Amino acid sequence: MNAHIAVLPGDGIGPEVTAAAVAVLRGVAGQAFAFTEHAIGGCAIDATGDPLPAATVEACRAADAVLLGAVGGPKWSDPNAPVRPEQGLLALRATLGVYANLRPLRVHPRLAALSPLKAEHLHGVDLVFVRELTGGAYFGRKTREGDVAVDECRYSVAEVERVVRRACELARARRGRLTSVDKANVLETSRLWRATTERIARDYPDVTLEHQLVDSMAMLLLTRPSAYDVIVTENLFGDILTDEAAALAGSLGVSPSASLGDGRRGLYEPIHGSAPDIAGRGVANPIGAILSAALLLRHSLGLDAEAAAVEAAVDAVLDEAELTADLGGHATTQQVTDAVLDRLAARRKVAA
Ligand SMILES: NC(=O)C1=CN([C@@H]2O[C@H](COP(=O)(O)OP(=O)(O)OC[C@H]3O[C@@H](n4cnc5c(N)ncnc54)[C@H](O)[C@@H]3O)[C@@H](O)[C@H]2O)C=CC1
Ligand SMILES: CC(C)CC(=O)C(=O)O
Ligand SMILES: [Mg+2]
């Protein structure tokens, strides 16, 4: 397949983990992809003054899929800075119209020991968050007047409908259970969210819908994570709950994501940030980025078998290989990437 993948390494460990994901995509059997690299975030501010240069947007629009590392870091975190790296990422998500952010979570048996939970709580955990990605407080009007700051949180019915429909479709294709998370006892946006979710879910009689308030959901994720199948929620709640959920899997470094809109082109990125505390040392865990590349193969390129091969190679590495420091090991980013490539090649030999 002659697909064009736009690669946006970004800042901190972003370039280290996207290099790993690109190496794995190059190792996928029988496929020749074209990769082009573009600036976003802090490095784009340094180069052009803009965290999302027009040339990057143009390249992403022309691509079949976009693979991103992470943006941000202390160099660009001055609260008085006129522009911040994170604005570039938010603008890219909005520009590409990728309103549904899928963040799957499974707990590999070897990593269960690293989780804050006991193994019996983790048995059978297999869930997907569908996080609304282009609305809510991250995109509302922001003002600062004297001692008062305001972040407007705004949702329209149409914005809720499309992401909830996506979550219902996903639940239908999985175990048929949908949990919608809101704060409807307090927030008007959440009351609109809940009413809209109930109405849309009526079109999916085979999907069982339950509602949870976000505060108790934060607790339930830790006490009975295996009870959940698909969890749909708004932007800010989803950002927080998915980092919490990633800890169940052993590390933020292993969680991938796919951000999808109505077309086939998606934006794929690990859920972690630029990890300035470990950047430049070659020790970042590349698995979140590599699994994001697998999601890219599946959702944007329709290469399901190839996606499954990458996921199986990662599982094999998690079974037995030396892992990075966040997972208690001593391996470098390159060693874990090479181990995934070895397993991919071995599977190819067996299949031949
Ligand atoms: N999608 C993005 O580009 C995101 C960017 N950020 C930005 O990243 C910067 C740092 O934010 P933090 O709050 O420190 O969150 P972070 O996710 O970058 O790091 C949190 C902790 O997890 C560790 N970690 C993260 N990814 C890892 C990996 N692949 N391997 C091993 N350890 C890993 C880090 O070393 C750190 O101890 C900030 O500027 C923030 O705005 C944060 C989240 C998402
Ligand atoms: C804009 C990003 C920094 C927000 C975030 O943490 C995320 O999307 O996971
Ligand atoms: Mg986050």
- The closest-lying atom of ligand 2 relative to the alpha carbon of residue 93 is 1
In terms of phi and psi (left: phi > 0; alpha: psi -120 to 50; beta: otherwise), the region of 282 is left
Q: Is 120 a known ligand-binding residue?
A: no
Query: Which of 45, 67, 274 to mutate for ligand 1's pocket (most ligand atoms within 8 Å of CB)?
Result: 274
CATH class of the region 1-102+252-352: alpha beta
Q: Is the pLDDT of residue 264 over 80?
A: yes
Mean pLDDT across the chain: 96
pTM, rounded to two decimals: 0.97
How far, in Å, from the CA of 206 to the mean position of ligand 1?
Answer: 38
| pLDDT per residue as tens digits for the range 226-243 | 999 999 999 999 999 999
Q: Give the closest residue (by CA) to ligand 2 atom 3.
A: 86
- The closest-lying atom of ligand 2 relative to the alpha carbon of residue 133 is 8
Q: Are 271 and 246 in contact, with CB atoms under 8 Å apart?
A: yes
| pLDDT per residue as tens digits for the range 68-100 | 999 999 999 998 899 999 999 999 999 999 999
Q: Give the closest residue (by CA) to ligand 2 atom 8.
A: 239
Instruction: Give the ligand whose atoms come closest to the C-alpha of residue 138.
Output: 2
Q: Give the closest residue (by CA) to ligand 1 atom 36.
A: 275
**What's the pLDDT band for 15 if we cut at 50, 70, 90?**
very high
Q: Is the pLDDT of residue 133 over 90?
A: yes
Q: Are 154 and 140 in contact, with CB atoms under 8 Å apart?
A: yes
Q: Is the pLDDT of residue 351 over 80?
A: no
Question: CB-based burial of residue 94 (10 Å sphere; 0-12 exposed, 13-18 middle, 19+ buried)?
Answer: middle
Q: Which residues are within 8 A (CB) of 120 and not within 5 positions of it... i.e. 6 or more apart? A: none
Phi, psi of 337 (to 5 degrees): -60, -45
Query: Which of 84, 86, 131, 139 to mutate for ligand 2's pocket (most ligand atoms within 8 Å of CB)?
Result: 86
Q: Is 73 a known ligand-binding residue?
A: yes
How far, in Å, from the CA of 14 to the mean position of ligand 1?
Answer: 10
Active site (catalytic) residues:
138, 183, 215, 239, 243
Q: Are 185 and 213 in contact, with CB atoms under 8 Å apart?
A: yes
Q: Is the pLDDT of residue 119 over 90?
A: no
Question: What was the pLDDT predicted at 97?
Answer: 98
**What's the pLDDT band for 115 if we cut at 50, 70, 90?**
confident
How far, in Å, from the CA of 204 to the mean position of ligand 3?
Answer: 30
Instruction: Give the ligand whose atoms come closest to the C-alpha of residue 91.
Output: 2
**CA 14 – CA 292 distance, rounded (Å):** 13
Count other Cβ atoms within 10 Å, centred on residue 149: 9
- The yes/no answer on whether domain 116-248 falls in CATH 3.40.50.140 is no
Nearest to 266 by CA among 93, 52, 139: 93
Q: Average pLDDT for residues 318-327, to the nearest whole number?
A: 96
How far, in Å, from the CA of 271 to the mean position of ligand 3?
Answer: 6
* Structure token digits, residue 310: 């990458």
Instruction: Give the ligand whose atoms come closest to the C-alpha of residue 273.
Output: 1
Q: Are 255 and 272 in contact, with CB atoms under 8 Å apart?
A: yes
Q: Is 81 a known ligand-binding residue?
A: yes
Q: Is the CB of 182 under 6 A from ligand 2?
A: no
Q: What pairing do the DSSP bridges indicate for beta strands 266-268 and 258-260?
A: antiparallel
Question: What was the pLDDT predicted at 112?
Answer: 87
Sequence ranges of the domains in the chain = 1-102+252-352, 116-248
Instruction: State the ipTM, two decimals.
Output: 0.99
- The closest-lying atom of ligand 1 relative to the alpha carbon of residue 277 is 35
How far, in Å, from the CA of 253 to the mean position of ligand 3?
Answer: 12
* Shared fold status for 1-102+252-352 and 116-248: yes
- The closest-lying atom of ligand 1 relative to the alpha carbon of residue 269 is 1
Q: Is the pLDDT of residue 52 over 80?
A: yes
